[in-house]
Amino acid sequence: MTMFEQIGLHALRLLDPEKAHGIALKTLKLGMAGSYDASDHSCLATNVFDRNFKNPIGIAAGFDKHCEALPETLALGPGFTEIGGVAPKPQAGNPKPRLFRLTEDQAVINRFGFNSLGHEVVASRLEEDRKAGVRGIVGVNLAINKTTEDPAEDYAEGIRVFGAFADFLTINISSPNTAGLRDLQGEAALASLLDHSTKAHAALDVPKKPALLVKVAPDLDDSEISAISDLAVSFQANGLAGLVVSNTTIARPPHLKSPLSAETGGLSGAPLFESSTSVLRSFARRLDGRLPIIGVGGVTSGEHAYLKIKAGASLVQLYSALVYQGPSLISRIKQELADLLQRDGIAHVSDAVGRDL
């Protein structure tokens, strides 16, 4: 961590976490967050979803929900980033406070409940960025409105609105803070949702369609993992391109030290690593290479990213660790990952995918 980052992170920690995140994004936007090494080792380049990633390390959904600082986020050196979640109509989300730092545990709890500026504002920002020449790989995390009567149509609208500007679209059915959302992971509900979503995706009239992904929770048992995997594979021919494993957890590991661990919401950061990686491994075993997976949950180092990759992730995302380690974490993880690949005699990161299975 740079000295500049140490001072900045210390100052931000004195503030309310949601305010601190807003200031951090604005600082990034204004170019005041320092400059970072965005170079890449050739061993990290990989092709997934028919797209060339300069490295497999991405920023997860929730970091920049409203597409406020896209070029500046990409300048930190990730191989890709995911903006959102974005709901169709603007909505306020849950009452504050709704974001908590569990510093002793290097973790975060959030219960935002999809606060969003809505499709129109966020899509026009993304369109502007694209027009201005922002070329990095960008995904959009699709959310629903709290009062919607037709969640599948909310996602379909997201596919239509963002289809021309995004490299991938993530159908997020795994945030724990919107009542009933996680029920969409059930077999019948998911089959119907995937049918509707893949039809909207197939109807897109764009030069290159975005990859369509589904993001799942870490709180799934083996039979749910098998059912979701089999359904996902059955929709592959209709355009489903992969899974994102996983979102935050509603579980509270017994070893948490922070008194804030009793707060309601989704837990992310270091304590999520074990469970999300174990669920990732189960999905990878069942999918058996038929669909790629983005592994996310508790990544704090290059070693963690490597473990996700060896457990079956073709790409890796992170968010919470940035709160504690600052933006230079991205280049550190890339360096550590490249060193680990070299140590193990692996020439390309794609050769490490699923090695531990």
CA-based torsion, 20, 215, 333, 162: positive or negative: negative
The torsion angles phi and psi of 342, rounded to 5 degrees, stand at: -65, -45
Q: Which residues pair with 169 in a beta bridge?
A: 140, 212
Binding residues with ligand FMN: total (CB under 6 A): 27
Contact criterion met (CB below 8 Å) for 123 and 83: no
Query: Could you say which residues in the range 98-127 bind ligand FMN, by CB under 6 A?
Result: 99, 108, 110, 112
> Which of 46, 91, 145, 172 is the binder for ligand FMN (CB under 6 A)?
172
- Minimum CB separation from ligand FMN for residue 205, in Å? 27
Would you count residue 296 as binding ligand FMN (CB under 6 A)?
Answer: yes
Least separation in angstroms between CB 341 and ligand FMN: 21
Nearer to ligand FMN, 156 or 316 (CB): 316
Among candidates 150, 173, 343, 143, which has minimal Cα distance to 246?
173
310 binds ligand FMN per the rule CB under 6 A? no
Reply yes or no on whether 234 is catalytic.
no
Cβ–Cβ under 8 Å, residues 174 and 268 = no
308 three-state secondary structure:
helix
Span from 204-212, 233-241, 284-292, 295-303 in contact with ligand FMN (CB under 6 A)? 295-303
Contact 198, 239 (CB under 8 A): yes
How far apart CA 150 and CA 7 sit, in angstroms, is 46
> What is the SS3 assignment for 215?
strand
Residue 139 found at the interface with ligand FMN (CB under 6 A): no
**x/- track of binding to ligand FMN for residues 232-271 (CB under 6 A):** ---------------xx-------------------xx--
Which secondary structure element, helix H or strand E, spans residue 195, and what is its range? helix 187-202
Q: State the catalytic residue, choosing from 174, 175, 268, 275.
A: 175
Q: Name the site residues for ligand FMN (rule: CB under 6 A).
A: 60-62, 65, 84-85, 99, 108, 110, 112, 141, 172, 175, 215, 247-248, 268-269, 272, 296-299, 318-321
Residues identified as active-site: 175
